[in-house]
Amino acid sequence: MNKLEIIEPGRCSDAQAGGFSSLSPAVFRASTITFATLDDFVARKSRPADGYTYGVTGTPTHRGLETRIASLDKARHCLVVPSGQAAISLTMLALLKAGDHFLISDASYGPAHDFAFRLTQLGVEVERYDPCIGDAIAAMIRPNTRLIWLESPGTITMEVQDVPAIVAQAKARGVLTAIDNSWASPLYYSPLSLGVDLCIHACSKHMGGHSDLLMGSISTNDVALHSALRALQSSMGLAVSADDCFLVQRGLDTMALRLEAQSAKALRIAEFLQGHPMVRQVLHPALASFGTHSLWRAQFTGSGSLFSLVLQDAPLDAFRALFNAFKHIAIGASYGGLHSLAAFYPVQNQANRRFPTVQAPVIRLAVGIEDDTTLIDELGRSLEAFDEVLNASSAKESV
């Protein structure tokens, strides 16, 4: 057997030596972190939250990305975890304990609801609130309310929340607030500047930008909250790959350009759809016709690439015809990538809500970087296919 090379401990700390310089961040992969002395090793657990102790809480590659996201979020601290959903569940689990009361917006991301209601098994009291509640949230806050969960606009139905009003009521009563800001990205909305305590992103969406990775981030200005999150990240083993951090860094390099292009295309497509006879309602916060448009205008500096549609009442076959007619648009439930996507949410989804704002099936469109005229043509053709099935079925009914 060949003699194996001896790897010297600490060799990675020399990576920047020797006059090397480039435009890309270094990728430090590590499970083991090495320590110079016995005392350093013994004292490793008392390093600050962003110190290096073991690969699970990250390497300089992770810190580089966390620092960049913190700066975009106008936050002092940030940590990254393996998915947007992991960021949601970690935040809830780190902050809530038995006996706490937890208020969650009824329009939040579905898996966030699922996780919240799992916490009832651990003795947390979970209650949904109307996303459009505004400062009437005050009446729902109890002495044991610990956390209010916001997501604005809401997943699928796009209700824009009155975040400043909710934050004011929460702050007056010592209640924490956390927001899922994945739709707008840090470029178009800065909830920490409005007093929200924790800001969550699904980095899988606009930040990664290429539909090829999963990651989540949690930013805060509160070092105690950050330390609690870091400790639970370690204890749950929520490790993120350094290679994925590299990819999100690369995604961030083009995020402003992508988002500017995609949000402009999304708005143009939304305006086209708004005038289409088969479309009953376009749920896009930047359209003046949208119910909570004024709240969007007052708080946001741009709009995302994702919006929803409610069509004329029709049998499921009409929706099948619509989706089958897509050639460029892929069927799938995500956004923020280069490719346009369409997702379908049956009427039961809304019926299952406590405070539904829509009573119909919803189609959600994620607009990519494709030529928007091509997308508009495709949507026009698909709506014709929808119309044909709808007409055929109403002709049958009236016989």
Ligand X SMILES: *Cc1c(COP(=O)(O)O)cnc(C)c1O
Which range in 21-29, 70-78, 81-89, 161-169 contacts ligand X by CB under 6 A? 81-89
Which range in 60-68, 78-86, 233-241, 376-384 contacts ligand X by CB under 6 A? 78-86
Cα 158 to Cα 222, 264, 282, 283, 383, distances in angstroms: 29, 17, 10, 6, 22
Distance of alpha carbon 166 from alpha carbon 181, whole angstroms: 15
Which lies closer to ligand X via its Cβ, residue 85 or residue 350? 85
R_g over Cα of the chain? 23
**Residues 164-203 within binding reach of ligand X (CB under 6 A):** 180, 182, 202
Tokens of 345: 């949410």
Which lies closer to ligand X via its Cβ, residue 182 or residue 340? 182
Spatial CB neighbours of 274, under 8 Å, sequence gap ≥ 6: 282, 287, 289
Q: For residue 164, how many other CB atoms are within 10 A of its CB? A: 17
Is 131 one of the binding residues for ligand X (CB under 6 A)?
no
Q: For residue 304, how many other CB atoms are within 10 A of its CB? A: 28
Q: Which contiguous run of DSSP H or E holds residue 341?
A: strand 341-345
Q: How far is the CB of 384 from ligand X (least distance, A)?
A: 30
Which lies closer to ligand X via its Cβ, residue 83 or residue 185? 83
**Residue 201 · residue 87 · CB < 8 Å:** yes
**Residue 278 · residue 326 · CB < 8 Å:** no
**Residues 249-278 within binding reach of ligand X (CB under 6 A):** none
Which lies closer to ligand X via its Cβ, residue 151 or residue 378? 151
Is 217 one of the binding residues for ligand X (CB under 6 A)?
no
Q: How far is the CB of 176 from ligand X (least distance, A)?
A: 18
Nearest residue to ligand X, scored by beta-carbon proximity: 84
Closest CA to 387 of 310, 311, 307: 311
Number of residues lying near ligand X (CB under 6 A) = 13
Q: How far is the CB of 180 from ligand X (least distance, A)?
A: 5
Distance of alpha carbon 88 from alpha carbon 217, whole angstroms: 9
**Residues 146-165 within binding reach of ligand X (CB under 6 A):** 151, 155
Distance of alpha carbon 365 from alpha carbon 349, whole angstroms: 17
Which lies closer to ligand X via its Cβ, residue 89 or residue 221? 89
Out of 59, 61, 83, 221, the residue judged to bind ligand X by CB under 6 A: 83
Sketch the per residue contact string, 89 through 128, with ligand X: x for CB under 6 A, - otherwise.
--------------------x-------------------
Which range in 12-20, 82-90, 260-268, 307-315 contacts ligand X by CB under 6 A? 82-90
Is 305 one of the binding residues for ligand X (CB under 6 A)?
no
Buried b (16+ CB within 10 A) or exposed e, 14-29: eeeeeeeeeeebebbe
Which chain residues interact with ligand X by CB under 6 A? 83-85, 109, 151, 155, 180, 182, 202, 204-205, 214, 216
